[in-house]
Amino acid sequence: MPELPEVETTVKDLQTKVLSRTFVDVWTDTKKIVKKPKDFEEFRKQLKSKKIQKIWRRGKNIIFELSEDYSLLIHQKLTGHLLYGEWKKDRVNTYIHLKFFLDNGEILALSDLRKFAKVELWKTEELLEELEKLGLEPLAKDFAFEKFKEVLKDKRGKVKQVLMDQKVIAGIGNIYASEILWEAKINPFKGVLKLSDEELKKIYQAIGKILKKAVKAKGESISDFRRISGEKGGFDPFRKVYQKEGEKCPRCGAKIKRTKIAGRSTYFCPTCQKT
Ligand SMILES: [Zn+2]
């Protein structure tokens, strides 16, 4: 699933290509992708002739602020990614289930193998209220250690699971939770309540370091994520543990282990992430 760095990459790419464009029409062969309004024809009618005034990210959500106080929200979920113009041919770029037609004659398309993506049209004010339910933004200027400590202090559950809880911190998913905990040398099974201040600090620092590195590299394309040009992101050479089961830990040489936490594959080094 595209996580914060991938969504951030998409948003930055979109800002250079579709800002100030107007939606002329929209097509789909999978009406369930449009969740709000539920009736696709109604969605189509409301979206037509709205101009894109601002594009930003909150957690894993892409938000297009439109004219007349509307906002379009796209959550790419498991395998969705947006493509624009003449995108690069690639197997994962061929599952086009939604097309936005723009006033410059170009198409903004959603490729989504699993068809779990979510597209919603909101009144901007209502959407902003809804987004307040999300947790801290880990790349925001005000993401301070004290704030991070405060939101974690009464959280039950294993640290990896809590890092992936969008109501606690927004934007971290399975790939980066594994990478962050490896970087911080913390065992993914450790209960949040058992983390010392020093350990919390290490996790906090690793969050900033890993996410910034991944944003700079334009995201991870080990799965279906592609940039709007259809090209892959460049994080792969920096990936240390995720989907590296049986390979050597780049820090200590022990074999990377895979295990499951809450049904999700978790990768870690049993030697340097002992506690
Ligand atoms: Zn190791």
Measured between alpha carbons, how far is 32 from 239 in angstroms, rounded to an integer? 34
CA 268–ligand 1 middle distance (angstroms):
8
CA 253–ligand 1 middle distance (angstroms):
6
CA 89–ligand 1 middle distance (angstroms):
38
| Mean predicted confidence (pLDDT) in 236-249 | 97
Contact 170, 177 (CB under 8 A): no
| Mean predicted confidence (pLDDT) in 177-187 | 98
Q: What are phi and psi of 216, to 5 degrees?
A: -60, -35
Rounded to 5°, the CA angle 230-232-234 comes to 150
Q: Which residues surround ligand 1, an ion (CB under 5 A)?
A: 249, 251-252, 254, 269, 271-272
Mind listing the pLDDT tens digit for each residue in 147-161? 999 999 999 999 999
In the prediction, which pLDDT does 20 show? 98
CA 166–ligand 1 middle distance (angstroms):
28
| Mean predicted confidence (pLDDT) in 178-203 | 97
The question of whether 226 is a catalytic residue gets the answer no
- Bridge partners for 31 per DSSP: none
Q: Which residue out of 58, 60, 158, 239 is catalytically annotated?
A: 60
Mind listing the pLDDT tens digit for each residue in 86-117? 999 999 999 999 999 999 999 999 999 999 99
- Bridge partners for 112 per DSSP: 80
In the prediction, which pLDDT does 221 show? 96
Percent of the chain with pLDDT over 70: 100
**CA distance from start to end of the chain:** 28
The question of whether 258 is a catalytic residue gets the answer no
CA 251–ligand 1 middle distance (angstroms):
5
The question of whether 264 is a catalytic residue gets the answer yes
Q: What Cα–Cα distance (Å) separates residue 37 from each residue in 42, 66, 211?
A: 7, 16, 33
Mind listing the pLDDT tens digit for each residue in 45-67? 999 999 999 999 999 999 999 99
In the prediction, which pLDDT does 255 show? 98
CA 9–ligand 1 middle distance (angstroms):
30
Q: Is the pLDDT of residue 275 over 90?
A: no
| pLDDT range class, residue 185, cuts 50, 70, 90 | very high
| Mean predicted confidence (pLDDT) in 151-173 | 96
In the prediction, which pLDDT does 228 show? 98
Q: What is the largest CA-CA distance in the chain?
A: 58
| pLDDT range class, residue 81, cuts 50, 70, 90 | very high
CA 245–ligand 1 middle distance (angstroms):
12
Torsion of CA 167, 171, 176, 178, to 10 degrees: 10
The question of whether 42 is a catalytic residue gets the answer no
Mind listing the pLDDT tens digit for each residue in 243-274? 999 999 999 999 999 999 989 999 999 999 99
Q: Which residue out of 2, 5, 138, 188 is catalytically annotated?
A: 2
Sequence length of the chain is 275
In the prediction, which pLDDT does 214 show? 98
